Chains A and B, each alone.
Chain A
Amino acid sequence: MTDSELISGLAAGDPDAGRLLVERHQLQVINVCLGLLHNPHDAEDVAQDVFVEAFRNLQRFRGDSKISTWLYRIAVNRSLNYLRNNKKKRLLYEIGSVFGLFDGDTRSLFREPFAEENKLESDELRQTLKSAIDNLPENQRVAFTLNKFEELPYAEIAEVMQISLSAVESLIHRAKINLQKRLRHYRDL
């Protein structure tokens, strides 16, 4: 079923079309949210809201872009709103993480055998990298995350963020420079 058939089915109230839309895009939407929120439970919670919003506003979808792009856009906006509205909760979560209280939420970091020394350094670097990405300005963080982790091309990121292609290039370039500055310590290893 193509995107336009899916939209027609949804508009006609076909429940199978709704199920298909959710199944087809569930993982991408959750992972976009996870990339910005870093908490699987919050990511799933927000992802459900994304689909609710999509179903409720189906008539607003003009079909100019792919459904996935439209869903990504809602997911990014919802995730950023969630972050803004839950600063206290995030702070508690960060404090808890310092004491290792939320380890159950995060998955195994290294699935393959890895030299112990390198593992410790990489684990530290992973945390630093995560923190460095989180501390990027909002637009840079969104563009970088969509490009590096969702592997979206610049053109699609431009559509999701509703900015020009050159603006996306600039955001990602500046994100890389900022990350390099923040990870400078690791150059001296």
Chain B
Amino acid sequence: MKCREAQKLILDYTATKGIRQDNPDLNRHLQQCTTCRRMSEMYSSAFQALAADRITELNPDFHNKVMERIKPGVARPVKQIWSPDITYQLSRSLAGLAAAIFLGIWIGSRVLTYLFSGPAIPDGAIVSAQDSYAQEISFQDEAVDRLESYFFDNNNSENK
């Protein structure tokens, strides 16, 4: 059996008891194929977890509640799903979410500004930096000239 065929049967296999005995091919494939076996185990766990939500204990008060409802003129209690506690928790979650969105927008805007406006150094500063660099090179050239003339002059006087 190929994985494609096996994976089509795995849902049945995991959701229905006793399928394994009826599918020796699938059983054999699951023993050999790690991927399909893992998938089968995960489906099985998921179905078991869903089934575990089932209620297994009798509520001793259930019968009385039914009888109360049968009595004529008894209004059904209104159940509130949305309590102040939930509102508080939800508002905290929403505040956190809003802060995260604000931070994201702020960081994003900074990055976009940098990308589309070029570096944040004014043009004048670049020009003055270039000037000072040129000046420094010129000073260095002058110093080299002076040293050359000094050594050249000394050399000539010794030869004389």
Q: Which residues of A contact B (CB under 8 A)?
A: 18-19, 22-23, 26-27, 30-31, 34-35, 38, 40-41, 43-45, 47-49, 51-52, 55-56, 89, 92-93, 95-96, 99, 101, 106-111, 114, 118, 121-123, 125-126, 129-130, 133, 148-149, 151, 176, 179-180, 183, 186-187, 189
Number of interface residues of B (CB under 8 A): 40
Say yes or no for B70: interface residue by CB 8 A criterion.
yes
Quote the shortest CB–CB distance from A133 to chain B (angstroms): 8
Q: Are A148 and B46 in contact (CB under 8 A)?
A: no
- Residues of chain A contacted by B90 (CB below 8 angstroms): 95-96, 99, 101
Report Cα–Cα, A101/B79, bound state, in Å. Answer: 17
Q: Which residues of A contact B93 (CB under 8 A)?
A: 99
Q: Complex Cα distance A143/B69, Å?
A: 30
- Residues of A contacting B16 with CB < 8 Å? 148
A41 to B62, CA, bound (A): 12
Residues of B within 8 A of A56 (CB): 70
B119: shortest Cβ distance to chain A, in Å?
Answer: 42
Task: Give the CA-CA distance A179 to B11 in the complex, in Å.
Answer: 8
User: Quick check: is B27 within 8 A (CB to CB) of the other chain?
Assistant: no
> Majority SS of interface residues in chain A?
helix
Q: B155 → chain A, closest Cβ, in Å?
A: 82
Q: Pick from B39, B49, B55: contact of A189, CB below 8 A.
A: B39
CB pair B58–A27 under 8 Å, yes or no, is yes
**How many Å lie between the Cα of A150 and that of B56 in the bound state?**
13
Stretch of B81-89, B99-107, B141-149 at the chain-chain interface: B81-89
* A114, closest chain B residue (CB): B45
CB within 8 A of A23: which of B41, B52, B55, B63? B63
